[in-house]
Structure 1
């Protein structure tokens, strides 16, 4: 009989409390062709976690995500359109999409030029809701 009564899964979660969060990021990268990496950042631009195959520094992506969030949040307020949800920046070589994870965190997704952005939006939106629950991030609406 094992000395520790905790199931194996609970031991894994104790060893890495962000295992489920990392799993969500890896799944998004594998499910959507063209995703080169995912970064979770605070709205202040500080890196929380990352899962990237991009050569870009994850701390830089976190800062860029916070900048995109700030501009988008200001636009939403000025236009009376409510709270920030997401923003996508498209360049000749790819994309940066930033999604709200509740009120205090962001999911930044880096994509190459072959990224199917519509598919990314379909997959990423429910991921952000799950990430908010996993990270215990306050949400703007009780049903988020």
Structure 2
């Protein structure tokens, strides 16, 4: 039998990766972050080596979907973020357009500071990815002409 090897994913978005790294540097006790599409495809990550990024992206998308549904059912409105606090740390998922920003933090993190730093980053990432998508559409349209 042949040996199975991990297939490399697409190259991470450099601008998004830079935002994730800068966020981790600004927030004490933050342990990692990732951006994934709403259907669970990994865009970029800055996760510790022991966490498998594509699996984490899929779980973040599932939690995002459930949270959207829960907010909609309970209040009829939109969803912004969900905080999951565990004994060994927190996971916070922020809705960001067609993506989500997932942030991991140690139990000692100041959640208020985490929100203060992460919410604007989620908006910046949304803007960056939207601009890139629009640029690709324009380039594709020009090539089709």
Instruction: Tell me, in whole angstroms, the C-alpha distance in 1 between the residues paired with 2:58 and 2:30.
Output: 19
The alignment status of 1:44 with 2:39, answered yes or no, reads yes
The alignment status of 1:109 with 2:103, answered yes or no, reads yes
Structure 2 counterpart of 1:72: 67
Structure 1 counterpart of 2:113: 119
In the comparison of the two structures, how many residue pairs are matched?
122
The alignment status of 1:23 with 2:54, answered yes or no, reads no
Under a length normalisation based on structure 2, what TM-score does the superposition of the two structures give?
0.77
Q: C-alpha displacement at 1:51, in angstroms? A: 1.0
Per-residue CA distance 1:78-120 (angstroms, 9 max, x = gap): 1224112110100000011000111x10011111112111110
Could you tell me which runs of 5 or more consecutive residues in structure 2 were left unpaired when the two chains were aligned: 1-10, 134-145
| Structure with higher helix content | 2
When structure 1 is superposed on structure 2, of 65-74 and 49-58 the one drifting more is 49-58
When structure 1 is superposed on structure 2, of 49-58 and 24-33 the one drifting more is 49-58
Structure 1 counterpart of 2:78: 83
